[in-house]
């Protein structure tokens, strides 16, 4: 014998199984409708500006230029990126510029700078910003800027240098790297008030 109370309880349970999920679904939908919608177009202006700027600047990433000097030395110029100079179309402006000079005698001169500029027409390049010059002969030089050429072995600092060499620490008002007109060998000179702190080689015991 089924009692009325049991029948009512059973029907309430069955209705609850239907109504409660619907209520939960409604609450969940309300949460999504109330929450702020993500505007996926927020990032679009940045991409458009970057592309427009690149198109305007005509920039190139990771370029390199290689040549052979009149004396046979190999010269390589590289940069993280370059773009035309808006004031001088014969120049390109470079970021993280590097120049490598491979000498006939087998030595190498590596020059790096935070930025630079180069002209293939003028066959010149300047590196600026914490310039470092390292040679395989033992020199490690720091300066603000250095001028180089593509057609001949030439590098010159317009200002003072400081660094170390095989003989010790040195300071000078100017550094010039050229080739000897008679032998063609690389010739590194320091001028305009050279100061050298000599470090004698350690004797072997």
Q: Does residue 26 share a domain with residue 67? A: no
Residue 125: which of 87, 85, 71 has the closest Cα?
85
CA angle 8, 9, 11 (to 5 degrees): 65
Q: Does residue 16 share a domain with residue 84? A: no
Q: Assess whether pLDDT exceeds 70 at residue 71.
A: yes
Q: Does residue 162 share a domain with residue 92? A: yes
Q: Determine the pLDDT at residue 95.
A: 93
Domain assignment present for 22: yes
Domain boundaries, position 23:
1-36
Q: Dump the DSSP string for 15-61.
A: HHHHHHHHHHHHHHHHHHHHSPPP-GGGGHHHHHHHHHHHHHHT-EE
What pLDDT band is residue 46 in, cutting at 50, 70 and 90? very low
Q: Does residue 3 share a domain with residue 71? A: no
Higher pLDDT pick, 53 / 117: 117
Q: Determine the pLDDT at residue 18.
A: 57
Q: Does residue 166 share a domain with residue 94? A: yes
Q: Does residue 128 share a domain with residue 32? A: no
Q: Does residue 168 share a domain with residue 70? A: yes
Q: Assess whether pLDDT exceeds 70 at residue 31.
A: no
């Amino acid at each position: 014998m089924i009692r009325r109370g049991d029948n009512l309880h059973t029907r309430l349970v069955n209705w609850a199984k239907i109504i409660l999920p619907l209520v939960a679904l409604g609450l969940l939908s309300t949460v999504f409708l109330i929450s702020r919608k993500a505007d996926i177009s927020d990032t679009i202006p940045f991409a458009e500006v970057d592309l427009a700027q690149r198109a305007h600047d005509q920039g190139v990433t990771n370029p390199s230029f290689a040549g052979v000097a009149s004396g046979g030395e190999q010269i390589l110029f590289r940069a993280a990126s370059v773009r035309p100079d808006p004031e001088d179309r014969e120049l390109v402006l470079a970021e993280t510029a590097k120049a490598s000079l491979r000498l006939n005698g087998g030595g190498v001169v590596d020059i790096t700078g935070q930025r630079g500029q180069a002209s293939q027409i003028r066959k010149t390049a300047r590196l600026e910003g914490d310039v470092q010059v390292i040679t395989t002969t033992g020199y490690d030089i720091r300066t603000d800027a250095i001028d180089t050429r593509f057609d001949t072995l030439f590098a010159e600092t317009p200002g003072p240098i400081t660094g170390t060499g095989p003989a010790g620490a040195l300071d000078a008002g100017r550094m010039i790297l050229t080739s000897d007109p008679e032998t063609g060998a690389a010739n590194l000179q320091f001028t305009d008030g050279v100061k050298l702190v000599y470090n004698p080689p350690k004797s072997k015991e």
